[in-house]
Amino acid sequence: MNGTAKSASPSCQLLQRQGEVFERDVATQPLWAVSPPQDAWLIAQAQGVISADHAVLRAFQEQSKVAQSPFAHVSIPSDAHVILFWPKAHELGIWWLKWLCEHLPPGASIDVVGEHQGGIKRVPKVLTELGLSCDKVDSARRCSLFATQAQPLGQKSDAAWKTFEALGLTLCSHPGVFGHGKLDEGTTLLLETLDHKLPKKTRQILDVGCGDGIITAWLAQRGHDVTAVDISEFALEATRKTLEANELTGRVLASDVYQALGDERFDLIISNPPFHQERDIHYGAAGRLISGAPSQLSRGGQLILVANAFLPYPERLTLAFNRFEVVADDRRFKVYWAGSR
């Protein structure tokens, strides 16, 4: 296969076992990865990627590969060898299967690969319930690989969107978006705190990790100029729909924390930052959110974030701001308030 890099992802290691098959197929069927992890070996093999993760899209683009969001105009070659990497969010995996059946010709091959602890063992049942074929191809590295074919389905992928009411707002949510279909307890505490402490005068506010758009819409409803950023296209599309449903306006941008914002500055940066990456606790995004905040805040600006009480953010906040204040604490979550230097 192209390149000699060894895969770091267990799912891709399983695919790498299929080397001879891929060498034969890639010559006639360009490989397209759908919702994959970032993996140098996979990027070397694939012609294109479809992903809602902008970090993954950038990684493929940097290697001159075709990279597309599922919410943009998508063009998959009719002869493509499509591999879906099964996500840990079960409903999101089902959505991807329906989406692929809507965008591929009947009979087009689809491989589905994933880790056992990520739910791949449920795929045969899912395929059967959708009326799709299922053949087991391989199993290793605590992963499994299944083969199926695209077929027209009676169920549309758009049915995955959920609409619900919270705090006087209509929220739109999609599988794979944080807190899908419900209001997160930490976000509730954050907004309750802001209701008492947020300045009434219009502010330029940045919502980092916008999710379904609840914070952005809540702030916009109160007259603030809000920019919402997220690395997930599912979250960005949910935020756009939430703003539209409530007849509110806001700027919605794809950005890995501050990556797309350049030297823009804001009066307030507000966030309920993620700390999970797949099944592991991961502080990368939250760490960059805190350490980079002083450079993105206007003079006298403030960072306000909510986090699970056990997370080690006080040390990071002290390093970035010298001092901070815990303005709300319900034992499960804490709301931190820090000012720029």
- Residue 5 falls inside a structural domain: no
> Is 4 inside any structural domain?
no
Decide if 19 is inside a domain. yes
Mark out the alpha helices in the chain (DSSP H runs): 10-17, 19-28, 40-45, 54-61, 90-103, 123-130, 185-197, 214-221, 233-245, 284-296, 313-321
Looking at the structure, do residues 219 and 184 belong to the same domain, yes or no?
Answer: yes
Count CB neighbours of 183 within 10 A: 18
Say whether both 151 and 291 belong to one domain.
no
Is residue 289 included in any domain, yes or no? yes
Among the candidates 131, 157, 183, a domain finishes at 157
213 and 316, same structural domain?
Answer: yes
Tell me, yes or no, whether 330 lies in a domain.
yes
Residue 274 is predicted with a pLDDT of 77
Cα–Cα distance for residue pair 95/78, rounded to 1 Å: 21
Are 136 and 235 within one domain?
Answer: no
Q: Are residues 142 and 84 in the same domain?
A: yes
Report the distance separating Cα 74 and Cα 96, nearest Å: 14
**Exposed/middle/buried for residue 281 (C-beta within 10 Å: 0-12, 13-18, 19+):** exposed
Distance set, CA 28 to CA 4, 12, 31, 32 (Å): 21, 20, 9, 13
Q: For every one of its 341 residues, what pLDDT tens digit does the chain have, with 9 covering 90 and above?
A: 444 556 679 999 999 887 666 655 556 789 999 999 999 999 999 999 999 999 999 999 999 999 999 999 888 998 899 999 999 999 999 999 999 999 999 999 999 999 999 999 999 999 999 999 999 999 999 999 999 999 999 889 999 999 999 999 999 999 999 888 899 999 999 999 999 888 889 999 999 999 999 999 999 999 999 999 999 999 999 999 999 999 999 999 999 999 999 999 999 999 998 764 444 444 678 999 999 999 999 999 999 999 998 888 999 999 999 999 999 999 999 999 999 65
CA distance 215 to 206: 10
Which tokens is 306 given?
């909510």
Pairing mode, if any, of strands 251-254 and 225-230? parallel
> Position of tokens 């702030």?
219
The pLDDT value given to residue 85: 98
